[in-house]
Structure 1
Amino acid sequence: MSDLIAFQRDQLGFFLQRGNDATEPLVRLSMGTGHVYLVSDADLVRPIMKADESVIDKGRLIYKLREIIGESSMVLSGEEHRKRRAVMHAQMSRGVTSEYVPEISAIIRQCAAQMAMSGSFDAHQVTASLAVRIIATILFGHGVLTTADENALINALHLAEDDLAAQIFKIIPDLPWVRSRKKAKLSEANKTMEFVVEKARSNAKRHSLISALEELNLSEKAMQEEILLNLLAGHHTSGSAASWVLYFLGKFPDLAEEIAQEARGLTDANGEIDPRRLSSAKTSLAFVKETLRLYPSAYWLSRETKQEMELGGRKLPAGSSLLISPWQMQRNPRYWPEPEKFDITRNHSGAAYMPFGSGPRVCVGMSLALLELQLFALEIAASFEVDLGNNVTAPPPIPAITIIPPPMEMRVTPRATPQHQQMVA
């Protein structure tokens, strides 16, 4: 129980301390009656994530998320999981190569204009709404969700997520009236989310992700849960990461200017980013990848042994939980010299880099998330300078189901064009 108390007191610090100080590949954690291990060796991650589902699969810690996301692909295994994943991957891959770029860029520019007009704003409040708008456009088509719909979805998720995050590692059950209160709150959140999703689905446009999912002939309940998963995952992963993109653009103005220059080289005669040129935008992509190294949205992953096995020099009984922490792996000095330093020249392809997971179950939206964040960095840097105000030193993030950025008040001001700079000179 001692590790559980330390974990609940400071989850991110706990992973860093136990993982970075580890002298063995698997660290046994005292977190109740079950066998729980923290994976401290990056070379074990891929074999764990690639293992046959009969040997290592999603387990009870992941299954607790069913309270919000139901029987969606996040908790599924086997043929049904592979079938849904293949459809989503194919649709997203087609869009990432061309059609999503102008749509996402337009949404980002609209958001940026609102940031500039609002004066001071909280970064995550803005980027969370932006992420919902983008994933809703991918799912349903442009303009299907209203601002009120987006706010309702975000508020509903916040209503439930803190209690659910605490519940995942809970050993002592809640008292009956506390449990009843939490269930009522979760039920209210789910009803709100389901109402918004059904409204959006009825107005969905052809060639959207929802039209591809409908080809699977899922039940109404399964379709609802899959849509909710995509909305909520898009909101949390991209929305949180975009806050840190803004932060680092403000923290390193010279690097932001370099990304602004890169953006100018990508635009066509109409001032739009040409999707065919994005592959040459190395600086902005490295910037995004380094942001995700320091602030991966998912700070822990979990798998469970389905049978007795040997791993990392240990004999593990069936039902052992294996915790993998991207937050810890990506800040471990064994793999990253000066791990707290922001450095876009790092190699972001090693075994210890896993902001989207690893192996065949890597996040299906990885390419889309990278595209969103790269376009966000390019569009913001090209047109604005970010003023961090009093947030020059980033406050610590908040661990919930994912890592939530803390309140960070910022402002953006129009960047001087090269022509204007020459006139001033």
Structure 2
Amino acid sequence: MRLHLGPKPVWLVTDPDLVRHLLKADEILVDKGRFVGKLRPVVGQSTLTLNGEENRKRRAVLHSVFAKGVAQRFVPEMSAAIREAAVSASRESEVSAHALTAPLALRMICIAMFGKDVLSRGDERAIVEAVRLVESDLADDLFRVLPLPPWKAAARRRKRELARRMIDAVVARVRARAASSTAVGALIALGLSDIEIRDEIVTMLLAGHHTTGSAAAWIMYYLGTVPGLAEELAAEAEASSDDAGELRPEILPRASKSLAFVREVLRLYPSAHWFSRDVRTDITVRNIPLKAGDALIFCPWQLHRDEHYWVDPDKFDLTRNFTGKAYLPFGAGPRVCIGMGLANLELQLLALEMAAAFSITIKSAVPAPLPTPSVTLIPPDIQLSLKVREPRERNIVLPRELEPMPVRAAS
């Protein structure tokens, strides 16, 4: 379908067979293009923007750290981060789901990027603020047809530079403390320059935490609104835990209820709700001639809610078959999202840990409003309260850090 987004042709690809064919096409024919290039002022020359052999080399190294089977070694640290954040939130009478999950997702990806306890709370706040500074501007730039007036363009450049300096300062503080078995250690071993390593770190921190943080807010929402779901997941968490109450990494791939929950949330609210490629040489696709420079848009949001491929597509349903061709929250082919395995693991851990130890009550509108489309899908304002479950609700003893705490009085 031809979209009218400027003088150059832009095509929305709506057939999942064709989507997968084009995403797997040789990069000589179809590859990253002008929309992705607009991210370079923020993420620099990283796996998100690079092509060719350099891209493949870096992807292979990062995949060796972020693949789900490998990332499972971080389960104890990530579970601890979830419990710590949840206990803190349970002391408040009400908390924003996204305000809770976005920093938490950042904390978990930093465990894989740098190692445990490398990023300080001040560093976390700096990165969250940096994302806030640039995200709305990036979304506007991606589809802007006419240039900004000079004074607005200058103001936007200043905001980006401020955000970049904030992130650079964090990277400079934490790089030296990163463990050799983490993503940063792997990049150092690859022989990348300081600037190249910084660009990869910026990409992973910006892309990884905000996308997963958005999906995680919906995990919290459905735990608080779907009758019986939290109880079923609590039982699965108990069956997947050792005698000390810690989730066992080797059992998680068989924890079917939480896996289905994560997949359904990502179907309804894919964080990367669209992505693009450019045609590199003249080709014909389905009898439509495409010229070099034409842009192709792939939209998981559209595919995941297409009634041709899903029964009652807007309904939350854990019995769905996710092996279908119209399910691609992380893309497909050789340039599929590097953090796919890690993101799925983070969301599964969040679902199990929260269901096991907390009761969640939604304090805002149900059903929730639609998310706001930006570079990612920004969740609406979902307000909730967390209450530590009484041990008698489950036939287990809560870990010490999850014992009920007094609620702080409102000021």
Question: In which range does the TM-score fall when normalised by the shorter chain?
Answer: over 0.9
How far apart, in 2, do the equivalents of 1:256 and 1:371 lie?
18
Is the CA contact 1:97–1:275 (under 8 Å) kept in the aligned structure 2? no
How far apart, in 1, do the equivalents of 2:265 and 2:166 lie?
33
Q: What is aligned with 1:122?
A: 96
How does 1:16-27 map onto structure 2 within 5 Å?
A: 27=1
Structure 2 residue 329 is the aligned partner of structure 1 residue 358: no
The Cα of 1:395 is off from its aligned counterpart by 1.5
Q: What is aligned with 1:263?
A: 237
The Cα of 1:413 is off from its aligned counterpart by 1.2
The Cα of 1:189 is off from its aligned counterpart by 0.7
Q: What is aligned with 1:249?
A: 223
The Cα of 1:97 is off from its aligned counterpart by 5.7
The Cα of 1:193 is off from its aligned counterpart by 0.7
How far apart, in 2, do the equivalents of 1:419 and 1:324 lie?
45
The Cα of 1:302 is off from its aligned counterpart by 0.2
**Match of 2:385, SS?**
strand
Is the CA contact 2:98–2:382 (under 8 Å) kept in the aligned structure 1? yes
2:54 aligned to 80, 83, 92, which one? 80
How far apart, in 2, do the equivalents of 1:43 and 1:99 lie?
35
Q: What is aligned with 1:47?
A: 21
How far apart, in 1, do the equivalents of 2:221 and 2:364 lie?
11
1:64 aligned to 38, 53, 60, which one? 38
Structure 2 residue 379 is the aligned partner of structure 1 residue 379: no
1:211-238 alpha-carbon deviations (Å, 9 max, x no partner): 1111111111111000111111111111
How far apart, in 2, do the equivalents of 1:349 and 1:158 lie?
35
**Match of 2:116, SS?**
coil
Q: What is aligned with 1:410?
A: 384
**Alignment CA distance shift 1:411-1:208 (3 Å):** same
**Alignment CA distance shift 1:77-1:68 (3 Å):** same
**Alignment CA distance shift 1:263-1:421 (3 Å):** closer
1:148-174 alpha-carbon deviations (Å, 9 max, x no partner): 110110101110111111011111111
The Cα of 1:145 is off from its aligned counterpart by 0.9
The Cα of 1:406 is off from its aligned counterpart by 1.7
1:188 aligned to 162, 177, 196, which one? 162
Q: What is aligned with 2:141?
A: 167
Root-mean-square deviation (Å): 1.5
Q: What is aligned with 1:139?
A: 113
1:220 aligned to 194, 204, 207, which one? 194
1:164-219 alpha-carbon deviations (Å, 9 max, x no partner): 11011111111111111111111111110111111111222232211111111111
Q: Which residue identity lines up with residue 103 of structure 1 in the other structure?
A: E
1:122-141 alpha-carbon deviations (Å, 9 max, x no partner): 11011011011111111111
The Cα of 1:421 is off from its aligned counterpart by 8.3
Is the CA contact 1:294–1:331 (under 8 Å) kept in the aligned structure 2? yes
Is the CA contact 2:12–2:297 (under 8 Å) kept in the aligned structure 1? yes
Q: Which residue identity lines up with residue 303 of structure 1 in the other structure?
A: R
2:322 aligned to 339, 348, 357, which one? 348
How far apart, in 2, do the equivalents of 1:238 and 1:48 lie?
26
**Alignment CA distance shift 1:348-1:95 (3 Å):** closer
How does 1:186-335 map onto structure 2 within 5 Å?
A: 186-335=160-309
Q: Which residue identity lines up with residue 68 of structure 1 in the other structure?
A: V
Is the CA contact 2:94–2:383 (under 8 Å) kept in the aligned structure 1? yes
How far apart, in 2, do the equivalents of 1:407 and 1:268 lie?
36
Is the CA contact 1:398–1:405 (under 8 Å) kept in the aligned structure 2? yes
Q: Which residue identity lines up with residue 318 of structure 1 in the other structure?
A: A
Give the stretch that moved more between structures: 88-97 or 55-64: 88-97
Q: Which residue identity lines up with residue 275 of structure 1 in the other structure?
A: P
2:80 aligned to 80, 102, 106, which one? 106
Query: What percent of counterpart residues are identical?
Result: 46
**Match of 1:197, SS?**
helix
How far apart, in 2, do the equivalents of 1:77 and 1:275 lie?
34
Structure 2 residue 313 is the aligned partner of structure 1 residue 339: yes
**Match of 1:118, SS?**
coil
Q: What is aligned with 1:368?
A: 342
Q: Which residue identity lines up with residue 311 of structure 1 in the other structure?
A: V
Is the CA contact 2:46–2:199 (under 8 Å) kept in the aligned structure 1? yes
Q: Which residue identity lines up with residue 51 of structure 1 in the other structure?
A: A
Q: What is aligned with 1:392?
A: 366
The Cα of 1:250 is off from its aligned counterpart by 0.6
How far apart, in 2, do the equivalents of 1:420 and 1:52 lie?
53
1:99-132 alpha-carbon deviations (Å, 9 max, x no partner): 1111111111111111111221011011011011
Is the CA contact 1:45–1:351 (under 8 Å) kept in the aligned structure 2? no
How far apart, in 2, do the equivalents of 1:161 and 1:277 lie?
37
1:65-105 alpha-carbon deviations (Å, 9 max, x no partner): 10110111001111100000000111223764641111111
Q: Which residue identity lines up with residue 307 of structure 1 in the other structure?
A: T
Is the CA contact 1:58–1:302 (under 8 Å) kept in the aligned structure 2? yes
How far apart, in 1, do the equivalents of 2:182 and 2:367 lie?
41
Question: Normalising by the residue count of structure 1, what TM-score does the alignment of the two structures yield?
Answer: 0.91
How far apart, in 1, do the equivalents of 2:28 and 2:229 lie?
47
How far apart, in 2, do the equivalents of 1:216 and 1:369 lie?
24
Number of positions where the alignment pairs a residue of Structure 1 with one of Structure 2: 396
Question: Normalising by the residue count of structure 2, what TM-score does the alignment of the two structures yield?
Answer: 0.94
